[in-house]
Amino acid sequence: MQTHTPPSPTQTAQLLQVHEPRNNGMPLDLDWVASVQANTSAIERRAATLPGRRSVKKDYQAAWLLKAISCIDLTTLAGDDTDGRVQRLCAKARQPVSAALLEKLGMTGLTVGAVCVYHDMVAPAVRALEGTNIPVAAVSTGFPAGLSPYHLRLQEIRESVAAGAREIDIVISRRHVLTQNWQALYDEMREMREACGDAHVKAILATGELGTLRNVARASLICMMGGADFIKTSTGKEPVNATLPVTLTMIRAIRDYYDRTGIKVGYKPAGGISRAKDALVYLSMIKDELGNRWLNPDLFRFGASSLLGDIERQLEHHVTGAYSASWRHALA
Do the beta carbons of residue 160 and residue 120 sit within 8 Å?
no
Give dist(CA 134, CA 131) in Å, integer.
9
What local confidence, expressed as pLDDT, does residue 328 receive?
66
Please confirm, yes or no, whether 268 is among the known catalytic residues: yes
Strand bridging mode 200-204 / 72-75: unpaired
DSSP labels for 159-198? HHHHTT-SEEEEE--HHHHHTT-HHHHHHHHHHHHHHHTT
User: 32's torsion region: left (phi>0), alpha (psi -120 to 50) or beta?
Assistant: alpha
DSSP state of 54: -
What local confidence, expressed as pLDDT, does residue 53 receive?
73
**pTM for this predicted structure:** 0.92
What local confidence, expressed as pLDDT, does residue 51 receive?
83
Looking at 92, 202, 232, 287, which residue is catalytic?
232
Looking at 169, 229, 278, 298, which residue is catalytic?
169
Please confirm, yes or no, whether 310 is among the known catalytic residues: no
Residue 34 class from Cβ within 10 Å (0-12 exposed, 13-18 middle, 19+ buried)?
exposed
Looking at 67, 202, 268, 287, which residue is catalytic?
268
Give dist(CA 56, CA 50) in Å, integer.
13
Strand bridging mode 72-75 / 114-117: parallel
Tens of pLDDT along the chain (332 residues) come to 444 444 444 444 444 445 789 999 999 999 999 999 999 999 999 999 988 776 788 899 999 999 999 999 999 999 999 999 999 999 999 999 999 999 999 998 999 999 999 999 999 999 999 999 999 999 999 999 999 999 999 999 999 999 999 999 999 999 999 999 999 999 999 999 999 999 999 999 999 999 999 999 999 999 999 999 999 999 988 889 999 999 999 999 999 999 999 999 999 999 989 999 999 999 999 999 999 999 999 999 999 888 999 999 999 999 988 777 665 666 65
What local confidence, expressed as pLDDT, does residue 39 receive?
96
Do the beta carbons of residue 171 and residue 207 sit within 8 Å?
no
**In the CATH hierarchy, which fold is given to the domain comprising 9-329?**
TIM Barrel (3.20.20)
Give dist(CA 6, CA 60) in Å, integer.
9
Please confirm, yes or no, whether 202 is among the known catalytic residues: no
Interhelix angle 244-261/276-289, nearest 10 degrees = 30
What local confidence, expressed as pLDDT, does residue 20 receive?
84
Q: Which residue type is seen at 51?
A: P
Nearest to 102 by CA among 296, 279, 310, 318: 318
The residue ranges of every structural domain in the chain are: 9-329
What local confidence, expressed as pLDDT, does residue 96 receive?
95
What local confidence, expressed as pLDDT, does residue 16 receive?
44
Give dist(CA 215, CA 38) in Å, integer.
9
What local confidence, expressed as pLDDT, does residue 166 receive?
98
Give dist(CA 28, CA 25) in Å, integer.
9
Do the beta carbons of residue 28 and residue 183 sit within 8 Å?
yes
Dihedral angle sign, alpha carbons of residues 64, 291, 50, 41: positive
Tens digit of pLDDT for each residue in 300-322? 999 988 899 999 999 999 998 87
What local confidence, expressed as pLDDT, does residue 13 receive?
41
Tens digit of pLDDT for each residue in 45-87? 999 998 877 678 889 999 999 999 999 999 999 999 999 999 9
Do the beta carbons of residue 247 and residue 285 sit within 8 Å?
yes
